[in-house]
Amino acid sequence: MSGNLEKVLEFVSMKFMCCSAPATEARGCLAAAFRASWECFSLWIQLDVGPATWLWDELAPVSGQGKNTFGGWAATLVDSLDTLWIMDLKEDFYVAAAAAAQLDWANTTETAVNLFETTIRHLGGLLGAYDLSGEKALLEKATELGDMLYMAFDTPNRLPGFWLDFDKAKQGVQVAGFNDPAAAPCSLSLEFTRLAQLTGDSKYFDAVSRVTDFLEQAQGASKLPGMWPKLINFRDERVDTEIGFTIGALSDSLYEYLPKMALLLNGQSPRYENMYRTAAGVIKTHILFRPMLPDSDSHNHILFAGDAYVHADRIDHVPEGQHLSCFAGGMFGLGGKLFGIPDHVAIRERLARGCGWAYAAFPTGMMPEIFNMMACDSLDGPCPWDEHRWQKHGDQQLKKGIVNTRDPRYILRPEAIESLFLLYRMTGKEDLRDVAWRMFQDIMAKTQTPFANSAIANVTVRGETEKLDSMESFWMSETLKYFYLMFSPPDLISLDEFVFNTEAHPFRQAVR
């Protein structure tokens, strides 16, 4: 085993030599970073454990072991297919695609699978790779999976549960959840719609349309009309029992998919635009916040997305930023341009730059999962710095304006670079590349392991970081892809031709 380990470590060392190069060569460094992670995943597993574990879901980047987290259906391999194609690693792509084409969805030790995660990673990954390569075997495999996942909609009201339970599906006794995350059943539309477009089988689109029908009917019935709560009673089709609202965890991609569905359908259905406009107006009023920063801080125009809790006599606005919420800059940018809403076009930049600021605000140069800030009373207008309030409530070890880090981890997430990439493609502002390059360098400096890159426990530390031995598949599917595209020509995965699902898989838009 030691000989094989030396081969892998030697490979990583070669691949990262270029990363001391100036930012003008950033694209090559990003490709090298991806290839190092990919080769460590594939070479280490194949050399030291055997070809069967090539189909493990993830590489544990500290211990060098493999682990299954999503049914044992090669999540990292499938999730990385289109990234391999985009970075012109065609030989690796065809080897991986051949393995993906032979996946057996019946071969799992699990009794149920996460419907949302399997849809965005596996179904999305196969569809994105097919849209780029035209390899029919990938579409056939996607159709197999789509048919299996389609069974999750076999409930009394045709709304799926959080889990696709195999035995319950066989017995025909599935029911929708009564306290499920809003995003889970409501973020399947892009994948099933694209599958319907490619196969010509409308059953997939019909399935997700039932969920859209529910969303449309329920949008005005929640405690914060216009938004859907974090948790929804899908079984009884009620949205009026939960008081919490966010565009972060539990809800994020529900909102993300509204303008993206309008784009994928070429605007043929106005309801996605209508729902987006209504939700975005409430988000601007009750969810977005402007952090209070010292008057000398040139970034005092930035925005973040927080939470709202609706009580009988008041609405509590909580200025809690989440890394997951950083997708909002891209959402407002796409919605603003697509539907001609100038105000949203302006908001997109303030949100995207806010997440860029948050990376630089912490000692490691990375944004935590969740953190709280002092907030201004409004999104615009005067917001004088309150030193007394900061001394009383703020974490004196952190940058002024930050109150605490409720979850200080960085888990290799993509949402910040996603919005910065989309903002750059929409505006062409070159300073955004400088922000992205700094982010990438800090991430590599603090997450690199002998095998690849790892989530870290605490972004507030100075010096060596604690590695968590986790590298989720979105590191290669999303984070490194968006960084790479940030420094690529605009015709590589053009936004005029493709729409990204929430796992960064590019779906080709139907010909207008």
pLDDT in tens, 490-502: 999 999 999 999 9
Of 82, 273, 415, 472, catalytic: 415
Q: What is the mean pLDDT of residues 465-494?
A: 97
Buried b (16+ CB within 10 A) or exposed e, 229-257: bbbbbbbeeebeebbbbbbbbbbbbbbbb
Mean pLDDT check: name the lowest of 40-49, 112-121, 262-271. Answer: 40-49
Q: In this model, does residue 23 exceed pLDDT 50? A: no
Mean pLDDT check: name the lowest of 152-161, 205-214, 287-296, 340-349. Answer: 287-296
Q: What is the mean pLDDT of residues 130-145?
A: 98
Q: In this model, does residue 409 exceed pLDDT 80? A: yes
Q: Identify the helix (H) or strand (E) that includes residue 497.
A: none
Specify burial of residue 178 (Cβ count, 10 A radius: 0-12, 13-18, 19+): middle
Of 349, 369, 472, 503, catalytic: 369
Residues 6+ apart with CB under 8 A from 418: 326, 327, 330, 478, 482, 504
**Which residue would you say has higher pLDDT here, 485 or 50?**
485
CA 22 to chain centre: 28
Average pLDDT, the chain: 93
Q: Which of 303, 283, 394 is nearest to 357 (CA)?
A: 303
Q: In this model, does residue 9 exceed pLDDT 80? A: no
Residue 502 assigned to a binding site: yes
Q: In this model, does residue 14 exceed pLDDT 80? A: no
Work out whether the CA dihedral 47, 50, 51, 55 comes out positive or negative.
negative
C-alpha span between 282 and 472 (Å, rounded):
33
As a whole-number percent, the residues of the chain with pLDDT over 70 amount to 93
Summarised one tens digit per residue, pLDDT across range 115-136 is 999 999 999 999 999 999 999 9
Q: What is the pLDDT of residue 17?
A: 42
Q: Which of 254, 252, 250, 230 is nearest to 242 (CA)?
A: 230
Q: What is the pLDDT of residue 160?
A: 98
> What is the identity of the amino acid at 178?
F
Q: In this model, does residue 46 exceed pLDDT 90? A: no
Q: What is the mean pLDDT of residues 227-253?
A: 98
Q: In this model, does residue 481 exceed pLDDT 60? A: yes
Q: In this model, does residue 10 exceed pLDDT 90? A: no
Mean pLDDT check: name the lowest of 26-35, 123-132, 168-177, 419-428. Answer: 26-35
Q: In this model, does residue 48 exceed pLDDT 70? A: no
Mean pLDDT check: name the lowest of 68-82, 255-269, 285-299, 372-386. Answer: 285-299
Q: Are 506 and 124 in contact (CB under 8 A)?
A: no
First to last CA, the chain: 55
C-alpha span between 443 and 453 (Å, rounded):
9
* Cα dihedral: 44, 45, 46, 51 (round 10): 180
Of 25, 110, 117, 395, catalytic: 117
Q: What is the mean pLDDT of residues 17-43?
A: 76
- From residue 23, how far is each of 36, 428, 430, 440 by CA, in Å? 19, 17, 12, 10
The secondary structure of 269-315, three-state, reads CCHHHHHHHHHHHHHHHHCEECECCCCCCCCCCCCEECEEEECCCCE
**Which residue would you say has higher pLDDT here, 461 or 55?**
461
Q: In this model, does residue 66 exceed pLDDT 90? A: no
Phi-psi region of 59 (alpha: psi -120 to 50; beta: other; left: phi over 0): beta
**Residue 135 annotated to the active site:** no
Q: Are 440 and 359 in contact (CB under 8 A)?
A: no
Q: Helices in 406-471 by DSSP H: which ranges?
A: 415-427, 431-447
**Could you identify the residue written with the tokens 């949100």?**
351
Reported as half-sphere exposure (CB side, CA atoms, 13 A), residue 385 has a value of: 14
Q: Which of 371, 338, 314, 357 is nearest to 266 (CA)?
A: 338
**Could you identify the residue written with the tokens 């595209």?**
485
Q: What is the pLDDT of residue 512?
A: 62
C-alpha span between 100 and 133 (Å, rounded):
14
What three-state secondary structure class fits 155? coil
Q: In this model, does residue 365 exceed pLDDT 50? A: yes
Q: What is the mean pLDDT of residues 398-409?
A: 97
Summarised one tens digit per residue, pLDDT across range 315-336 is 999 999 999 999 999 999 999 9
**Residue 369 annotated to the active site:** yes
Identify the bridge partners of residue 315 per DSSP, sorted by sequence position.
Answer: 310
DSSP labels, 326-389: GGHHHHHHHHHHHHT-HHHHHHHHHHHHHHHHHHHHSTTS---SEEEE-B-SSSSS-----HHH
Q: What is the mean pLDDT of residues 165-189?
A: 98
Q: Are 239 and 221 in contact (CB under 8 A)?
A: yes
Q: Which of 185, 105, 117 is nearest to 147 (CA)?
A: 105
Of 252, 320, 418, 478, catalytic: 252
As a whole-number percent, the residues of the chain with pLDDT over 90 amount to 88
- From residue 255, how far is each of 185, 379, 501 by CA, in Å? 12, 21, 12
Q: What is the pLDDT of residue 24?
A: 52
Q: Identify the helix (H) or strand (E) that includes residue 4.
A: helix 2-15
**Could you identify the residue written with the tokens 């000989």?**
3
CA-angle at 413, arms to 410 and 419, nearest 5°: 125
Q: Which two tokens stand for residue 194?
A: 């694209």
